[in-house]
Amino acid sequence: MRREPQDKQRDAERTKQRIVDAAVEEFAAKGFAGARVSAIANRAGVNKQLISYYFGGKEGLYRELTSQWQSTESGFADPSLSLAELVGGYVRANAANPAFGKLLVWEGLRDGEPTPEFVDDMRRNIEGLRERQRKGELPASLDPAAMLVALFAIAAAGVAFPQIVRAVFDEEPASAEFAERYATQIEQLLSRLAEG
């Protein structure tokens, strides 16, 4: 029986997605430097040559993961939300997708030079916080750069410090219960900051 071109396309898409899913887990567990293409291929149940074929290698696959996170992020990170709601959304997203949060933590542990695109993104975030200060959502006395670093740390706490979450909340950091409890508290904290 001859396979139709659309069947081949669907098989290719499923294979690519299996590779991406395996890569998220491998990179989250070991970071970019520790992850191995052969381990990703084994997790996905594919020949490692397919990673080069579909993604151009390990770096291309990592870029694909970044792209997928940005796509996920666009679903909850609406800049028109209050800062409290925005950070609460990141807390919930990190609990729902801890592997993506771990990728960012691993990047920090690697302590490499940020890409120009990343620097530009962070500068846009700082400008966004300055705009929130102009609108009265954040006190003008706060340094937006320091606030941005603090907000990243707050949102990533469940991913970066799972042992602390387990000890003080007696809940799993990836659980919906922890995410909701913690996000609600962070939203209250940031709302109070806005009340000033």
Same-domain status, 36 and 11: yes
Where residue 37 sits, what CATH number does that domain have?
A: 1.10.10.60
CA–CA separation, 13 vs 141, rounded Å? 50
The pTM of the full predicted model, rounded to 2 decimals, is 0.81
Round to whole Å and give the CA distance between 115 and 150. Answer: 21
Of 24, 108, 102, 96, the residue nearest 67 (C-alpha) = 24
- For 154, the token pair is 């707050």
Instruction: Write down the pLDDT at residue 156.
Output: 94
Instruction: Tell whether 2 and 43 lie within a shared domain.
Output: yes
The verdict on 53 and 91 lying in the same domain is no
Domain count, the chain: 2
C-alpha to C-alpha distance for 54 and 57, rounded to whole angstroms: 8
> How far is residue 72's CA from residue 97's CA, in Å, rounded to a whole number?
10
- Both 7 and 103 in a single domain? no
Residue 29 lies in a domain: yes
Residues 52 and 139 in one domain: no
Name the residue range of residue 167's domain. 75-196
What confidence score (pLDDT) does residue 118 get? Answer: 87
The verdict on residue 69 lying in a domain is no
Round to whole Å and give the CA distance between 4 and 13.
Answer: 15
User: Does residue 16 lie in a domain region?
Assistant: yes
Residue 12 CA to chain centroid, in angstroms? 26
103 shares its domain with 167: yes
In a domain, 67, yes or no: no
68 assigned to some structural domain: no
In this structure, the answer to whether residues 55 and 79 fall within a common structural domain is no
For the chain, 196 residues long, give each residue's pLDDT as a single digit of tens: 555 655 556 788 899 999 999 999 999 889 888 999 999 999 999 999 999 999 999 999 998 988 888 888 888 888 889 999 999 999 999 998 888 888 888 888 887 788 898 899 999 999 999 999 999 999 999 999 999 999 999 999 999 999 999 999 999 999 999 999 999 999 999 999 878 6
Measure the CA–CA gap between 92 and 67, rounded to whole angstroms. Answer: 19
Question: What is residue 33's predicted lDDT score, i.e. its pLDDT?
Answer: 87
The answer on 127 and 81 residing in a single domain is yes
* One-letter amino acid for residue 79 of the chain: P
Q: What is the pLDDT of residue 6?
A: 58
CATH code assigned at 167: 1.10.357
The pLDDT value given to residue 134 = 95
C-beta separation of 86 from 152 below 8 A: no
- Of the candidates 103, 99, 87, the residue with the CA atom closest to the CA atom of residue 153: 87
Kindly state whether residues 85 and 146 are assigned to the same domain: yes
DSSP 8-state class, residue 115: P
Residues 103 and 176 in one domain: yes
Same domain, 121 and 176: yes
* 175-186 burial: b if 16+ Cβ within 10 Å, else e: eeebbeebbeeb
pLDDT of residue 5: 55
CB 24 within 8 A of CB 16: no
